[in-house]
Structure 1
C-alpha cells in the first residue's frame, strides 16, 4: 500500500495495553499519521474510550480483530504492541500484504534465533526476517533506519524491531564510553529501576498495589530476557564482545525508568574527559540531553516524553569506574515514543514529529 508523506494510515495492534494506548495517544496528535485502526482480540467491538476514558472526545474508534487482510486494507504501517510470540504470528502476514511493521515486542530484536529460543523458551517461526529487521534505537542506528526508509519509499514493506525499555536506557548510558574506547573491561553492570507500567497492563501478585507500593524489589536477577539484547547492542557498539550483568528493580511509580551503568575505564581518563565524551556524542541528538558535571538524571524530568537524560561521574577511589545514569519514560523513549520516532524515520518524516518534549514540571 502507499500513502503520501503527509497522510500515513496506521494500525495499532495491542492497543488495550499501556504501550499500545500510548502509541494511539501519540498518533492522534501526530501531524502526519492517521489512526486508521486499533486492534485487540479480547476487546473487539468495544470503543477505545470505554477502556481508556481519557480518549473520550479525542478518539471515536472501536477495537477490531487483528486480521492481516483487514489491517492491510486499512493501513500502510502497523505498530505491534503485543507480547512476545504474538508478533511472530502476524508480522510475516503483514509484510506479505505490503504493510510495514514497527514491532514493540522482542520477537525480531535478537539476530540469532537460537539466542531468542534459549531466552524466550519458544521456537522462532520466521528467522528469515531477522536479517532484514532493523533495531530501532535511532541514536545508535539512525543510518540503518534511514536506509530502511529508502526501501519503504521504493514500495517495499519494512520491519523495525523497537528496543526494550531497559536496553534503551542501558545503551544510551554506556554507548559513548564504549565508542570512545576508554573502557578496559568487557563487563558492563546495569542496575535499573522501572515503574509498574513496565510490567504490562495484566495485573500480577508483584504488581498488585499492596505489594508494589512503598517497596522496591529486584527481580529476574541473572535471568532477565533483556540481557542478551543489551549484550548484542553493546557488543556492536564496542566492536568486541560485551558481557552484561543486569539487575532490574520494580519501584512504586506508574511510569519512569533509571538505569545506572558501571564500566571500568583506563586510569588516565579524567572526569572532564568523560563529560566531554558524552556531551560531544549527544550534542546533536534532539531527544538525548547530557546533564552538567556532577548532576544525575531523574525519571520525573522525562515523564510522559520521548526524551532521555544522561549524567556521568567518575569513581576513582580504587578502580577507575565510570558511573553513567540514563533516565527515560519506560512507555515513552522506552516503548511508544521511540516506536513513533522510528516510524518517522522510515516514513521520511521529521524524526521528532508528534513527540512530546517537556515533562510536567510539578
Structure 2
C-alpha cells in the first residue's frame, strides 16, 4: 500500500488534534507535518501530552510552500475564511485539500456572504469542491479519486457536524418519498467541544455544567448548508427550522428531525425505508424499531446511529434521530473517510473501530 504524506493545518484545535490522532494510527497515511500559527516551534506532544511517544513533530506555520514540499494531502481544521487564503495556493502547488471549514460547502457565494459576513474570494473553486458526505456524494468523491490519480489536486468540502447528523436523519425519508412537504425541523444537541478549543462565557465550565441551552436560534450558520443538502436529497427546495443546543458533554451530538409523513405511511414502512437506505453503508447503523440512539454509543468513534419512529397523533410525522461524535463523524473521522475515498483506500481504513466503552 502506498502511504500518503499528510499535513494537518490547525492541529491544536479539537478537530485538528483528533485528525492527528487518526492519521498517526492510519496504515495508509503518514503525518508528515502539523501546523498552528500560535504554537509554531513547539512540539505537538508538548501541546497535547497524549502524543508523547507517538510523534516528535514540531508544529510549524501554515505556509503553503512548506506544506507542498513534503505533503500530498492537507486537512484544514481551521475557522471559516482561513481556508480562503490557504486552499487556492495549496491546490496551485499540487496539494489535495480536505477542508473542514465552511468556506467551500455552499455553492452560492451570495449565500456564503449573507451568513458569514464576508465576501467569498475563491468563487472559481466552488464548482470544483465536492461536498464530503460520503453517504450522499460517494460517486463524487470517487470521481475526485480518478482526477487525483491523473495528477490533479482535488478539493473536498467536509460537512459541518450539525448538517451531517441532520442529513443522515432525514435522507431516507426524503429519498424514498415517505416524507412530503418542503420543511424539515431539526432540534440538535452538541457537546461543548463542538464550540472549539478557545473557551467563551457560554462554554466555560461554570456556565455549561449542569445546564442545557438553546443558542443561535433562527440564525445559526449551518442552516443554509442543511437547506442546500436536503434540497439536493429531496429534488425540490427544502426549508429548515434549526435549533441547536449546548449540553454539558465533552463530545457527542444528537439531532432529532421532524418531517411530515406521506398519506398512508405505516410505522413498518418508515423502518424499512431507513434499513434499506443504510443497509450497505459501512459507518451508519439503523437501530431496531423501538430504539433510539444515544451519544454515549458513538462518542469517540466514527460511526453514526439512527433511530426512527412514526407519530400518528393529529398529523402523521416522521421522527428520526441521529447520534454522532461531533469530532468523529461530525469532523475528523468523516474527513478521513473522505480522504480514504480520494486516495483510493478502503473507505473505513483507520476509522472502523467501534467507539470506546467509556
How high is the TM-score relative to the length of structure 2? 0.99
> What residue number does 1:284 align with?
280
Post-superposition Cα deviations, 1:311-360, rounded to whole Å, max 9, x if no partner, equal 00000111100000000000000000000000000000000001143122
> What residue number does 1:206 align with?
202
**Residue pairs, 1:1-362, within 5 angstroms:** 6-362=2-358
Secondary structure of the structure 2 residue equivalent to 1:63: coil
Secondary structure of the structure 1 residue equivalent to 2:38: helix
Shift of 1:361: 2.4
Shift of 1:266: 1.3
Distance in structure 2 (CA, Å) of the matches to 1:199 and 1:180: 34
Post-superposition Cα deviations, 1:260-302, rounded to whole Å, max 9, x if no partner, equal 0000011300000000000000000110000000100001101
Shift of 1:6: 1.9
Q: Which 4+ stretches in 1 moved above 2 angstroms? A: none
Unaligned runs of 5+ in 1: none
Post-superposition Cα deviations, 1:90-133, rounded to whole Å, max 9, x if no partner, equal 00000000000000000000000000000000010000000010
Post-superposition Cα deviations, 1:29-80, rounded to whole Å, max 9, x if no partner, equal 0001000100011100001111101111111111001111000001000000
Secondary structure of the structure 1 residue equivalent to 2:188: strand
CA contact (8 A) 2:301 2:356 kept: no
How high is the TM-score relative to the length of structure 1? 0.98
Distance in structure 2 (CA, Å) of the matches to 1:97 and 1:213: 46
Distance in structure 2 (CA, Å) of the matches to 1:209 and 1:111: 37
CA contact (8 A) 1:304 1:356 kept: no
Distance in structure 1 (CA, Å) of the matches to 2:217 and 2:13: 25
Shift of 1:7: 1.2
CA contact (8 A) 1:6 1:31 kept: no
Unaligned runs of 5+ in 2: none
Distance in structure 1 (CA, Å) of the matches to 2:295 and 2:148: 35
Distance in structure 1 (CA, Å) of the matches to 2:306 and 2:161: 15
Distance in structure 2 (CA, Å) of the matches to 1:158 and 1:169: 25
